[in-house]
Amino acid sequence: MNPAVPFWRTTQGTSVLLILQATLGFAVMDTTVKYSAALVPLLMLLSLRYILQTVLTLAWRFPLQRRQLFVTANPRFQLLRGTLLLTSSTCMFFALRHLPVGEFTAMAALTPLVATAMSAWAFKHRVTPAHWLLLLFGLVGVVLVAHPNGQVFSWALVFPLLLIFSNAGFQVLSSHMSGAEDPYTTHFYTGLMGSLITAPLLFFVWDTAALLQYWYLFIAVALMGNFGHLKLIRAYRQAPALALMPYLYSQIAFATVCGILVFGHLPDQAAIVGIVIIAVSGVCNALLSQYEAKKKGVLA
């Protein structure tokens, strides 16, 4: 790297900046969802988030790609991937009604570790003992965040647990599909699947008064979700996913700060320790994966 060129203007620096923007966007979206939970029907918020994603992607990419936007080599995988992400989003929306943003984000951050284990089961990928130890370490962090005497211990913990497994499946499938699909095509089909599945539910939850009064919340959730995913797409086009994975854990910090600023919520001591443990185990898992990839010559 040329020392005269600032880090943020290099390819690596640009991709890291894009990842940080993505995680900030996701943290703001999650905070907005939690704020909206008491004001608007969550299923309506979820459905319109996907419908707006589909419309915005179509309006932006169709003039550039035309029919190529709809061309996919793996239609069944696209359907399954979209369904898994919708499941994750649904769990996230309902979890945030009951759980603090920071603690929820930390628990959800266990997903890459579970995805590593799921890859071993689904595609027979070899997982080293170090990865299994990091997964156990991360689980200890989750127990501390959700300990029985803590602020978040409730039946609602079932939502982040379901999210971890559905999102892990989503990540494993996305990794399996990478390189074979145009990322914007995948983004379009993700929104389309969410729209098709949730649109019929609008008949039961539609609230015109809520939409007219809180229209800005619906738009904010959709825009922040699109912003985050599109920044991720751009980042992964500039650098390998393994090289960027450690920076994804910045979302925990952003979400915790948002929780403090918007809701005045500060995690208790055990939860703070658990959040740190989850973040450390996740970053170490990402760095270990980087090292293994470099050793095999997969990552430069």
Which pLDDT does position 14 carry in this prediction? 86
Task: Summarize the confidence of residues 122-148 as an average pLDDT.
Answer: 79
pTM: 0.86
Report pLDDT digits (tens) over 7-65.
556 777 888 899 899 999 999 999 999 999 989 999 999 999 999 999 999 998 999 99
Q: What is the pLDDT of residue 175?
A: 67
pLDDT confidence of residue 15: 86
pLDDT at position 21 is 94
Q: What are the residue boundaries of the structural domains of the chain, listed by start?
A: 14-296
Cα–Cα distance between 98 and 33 in angstroms, integer? Answer: 11
Q: Are 161 and 280 in contact (CB under 8 A)?
A: no
pLDDT, position 125: 65
Q: How confident is the model at residue 101 (pLDDT cuts 50, 70, 90)?
A: very high
- Helix crossing, 11-36 with 250-263: angle to 10°? 40
Closest CA to 111 of 142, 81, 148, 83: 142
